[in-house]
């Protein structure tokens, strides 16, 4: 799918968990039905999600989940066990700033959030509860300038809808 910023930070025991992708009314993303996210095993046969999702909705890094093993030996998402309190947002860089992807990622990291990038312009952002309001204002400002499209992947505090 492309390079992400977090793979190198995974622990040796981290595993990939496959999540089905809920398509929007236009069938997006057309090229993918599943997203694989890194998670670390925790007590009780559960996993703590390490990755920030690019496409999967209603989940955030840090959430504890249950997964089942397929006949092929892959882990697939089953259910959320507990929430981390984190939020996940995604921005799609518009042409006007697409060449500045690295600088935008660095600016977000300087604001204290975990960021992953793929396809050179799709940025997944994991935000802790204490940073959500500030980060949301920053993301809204960029959307208002026309720099990017904005989507809420999951937030305990914000409406669960696509923001364009």
Give mean pLDDT, residues 98-107. 94
Confirm whether 49 is domain-assigned: yes
Residue pair 25/16 in contact by the 8 Å Cβ criterion: no
Residue 51 lies in a domain: yes
Instruction: Give me the count of residues in the chain.
Output: 164
Are residues 25 and 58 located together in one domain of the fold? yes
pTM passes above 0.75 = yes
Residue 132 placed within a domain: yes
Decide the pairing of beta strands 75-82 and 87-93: unpaired
Query: Does pLDDT of 5 surpass 50?
Result: no
- Vertex 103: Cα angle to 111 and 9 (nearest 5): 65
**Per mean pLDDT, which range of 7-21, 69-83, 133-147 is the poorest?**
7-21
- Whether the pLDDT of residue 29 is over 90: the answer is no
Q: Does 108 lie in the same domain as 78?
A: no
Domain residues for 18? Answer: 7-82
């Amino acid at each position: 799918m492309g390079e992400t910023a977090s793979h190198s930070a995974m622990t040796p025991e981290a595993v990939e968990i496959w999540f089905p992708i809920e398509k929007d009314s236009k069938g997006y993303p057309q090229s993918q039905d599943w997203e694989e996210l890194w998670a670390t095993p925790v007590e009780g046969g559960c996993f703590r999600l390490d990755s920030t999702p690019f496409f999967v909705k209603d989940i955030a890094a840090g959430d504890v989940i249950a997964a089942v093993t397929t006949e092929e030996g892959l882990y697939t998402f089953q259910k959320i066990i507990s929430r981390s309190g984190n939020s996940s947002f995604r921005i799609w860089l518009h042409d006007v700033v697409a060449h500045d992807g690295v600088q935008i990622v660095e600016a977000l990291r300087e604001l204290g959030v975990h960021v992953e990038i793929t396809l050179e312009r799709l940025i997944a952002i994991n935000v802790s509860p204490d940073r959500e309001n500030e980060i949301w204002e920053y993301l809204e400002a960029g959307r208002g300038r026309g720099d990017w499209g904005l989507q809420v992947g999951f937030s305990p505090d914000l409406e669960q809808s696509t923001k364009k």
